[in-house]
Structure 1
Amino acid sequence: MPVTRSQSQPKPANPHAESVKWAVENGPLPKSDLETSSSASPANNTLSALEEAVEPSTTGKQARNAKNPHWPFLAKSCKPTAVWDALTVKMLEDSTRQGSVINCTGAACRARFKRLVKGHKNDETHSLQKTGTNEEVDDHIKTMTDLVALVNGHEASKEEFLDTMKKQQALQQKAALQMHDAVMKGRVPRNTLTDVAQLDGATVREKQGQRKQKLASSGPSDSDKVNIHPGVNRPHHQSALERVLIQHEETDQKQLEDACIQYEHRHQEI
């Protein structure tokens, strides 16, 4: 059977044909794959080297400070839950030594403490209402009394701090409104404005900005006038050059008068 030209031409490879499967689950890769991976490894190494060169060194002092700054104003405040958790750990250690283990969470310990404080306050109220004086006071009552006093002092200081902050915010808002009105209306007397520097929590910047400077036109007071002699009345518009010229003219005039007197004496002698 004769072979045609179309049959003699090689057939193109099918792109959707299945790739050759290599049984390399447990064995080594074929040589062709090793060559391609080794040829691509220098480029990857170059890119990784460039990235390392571009990235800053993590061992530098600036990098360490940026990651873990030790600045006081960035220090996070301790949460109350962490304090109660630390208290539970301490209670567990002490109770283990005594034989009766107390193992609870920080939230449970806090709730129990609030209940004890509330019960102690109620007991104090009932004891004050009693008329008798035979009241047993043991160590537990003394300890609870001290703890309640500390809690009351803390709450009082917190309320005082909040009141101070509210007053400060009100004064700052008032000062801001006064400055706004002064800018819109023009010059206003400085003594009528609110001085923010007089507040208890005023910063150094606020105190420096609110300094009162003396006017340049104001002279010394009577109490400051010590050993002050009256000066010569001279016109303030004269400059140093004008004073020198006047002095030279006076000297020349005096010399001319002396010369005229000597000439008259000689003429009389002749």
Structure 2
Amino acid sequence: MSWTSPEGKVVVVTGASSGIGEATARRLVRVGATVVAVARRDDRLTALADELSSERGRLVPHAADVTDTAAVDALAARVRDEFGACHALINNAGVGGGAFVGRDDLDDALHTLDVNLLGTVRCLAAFADLLEASAPARVVNVASVAGKLGIGPAGYAASKFGVVGLSEALSLSWASRDITVCQLNPGFIVTEGFPQAHLTSGPMARLVGEPDDVAARIVEVLRTGVPERTVPSWYRSFVALRHLAPPVYRAVASRIDRAGGDRSE
């Protein structure tokens, strides 16, 4: 089965009850995919399935927490037993986290790492064999530009740097299994967990995107199998500046509000 279209494919999307995950599930169902939509909030998933019931594809709700290894294993077992394949895994579940100042912030930082990085690792481990059996298969790990630049809450940046490194390593090591692994790095996107009010209400509003902007790129990545994508693409210029002119980058970055380690709302 080729990857010219998601139509007829079985796709697992985590963090699907809102934001980027929900927008991605909508797009995939509308082009004919069977989407196993995963999140903790089962009521939202059920409502989304009802809403999309007349579309070409199908949305299957599955309540699970990516920090629970047994729950992730049960998810993979259900997909294997019920559908017999997993053609794509979209690891999107994530949290933002707060500033890291000292001991009082340890639990928050560990939770952020557990959801964003280890949740992705759990899903990859649980689905690896089924993805290979369903090859050609796709993995899209939703990381962040913060996983390239390290501006903002330290726990969040660390988690996303981890997702970037994990994705890059697997894009090489899993290629022989006919599984492509993409790191998809969004910039500022307005979601429930990331309202970006400090930007949308000011002159920087043009820097902020919508969940569907990212969802469109995810569907494109599924078709093409590219190993890396930044949304919007012009954010890559900041990444290039970080590597080519570190002093200039640090001078610019230090003037950004989030360089203080907080996540402005």
Report the TM-score, using the length of structure 1 for normalisation. 0.18
Q: Which has the higher helix share?
A: 1
Q: In proportion to residue count, which structure has more strand?
A: 2
User: TM-score by structure 2 length?
Assistant: 0.19
- Which entry has the higher C-alpha Rg, 1 or 2? 1
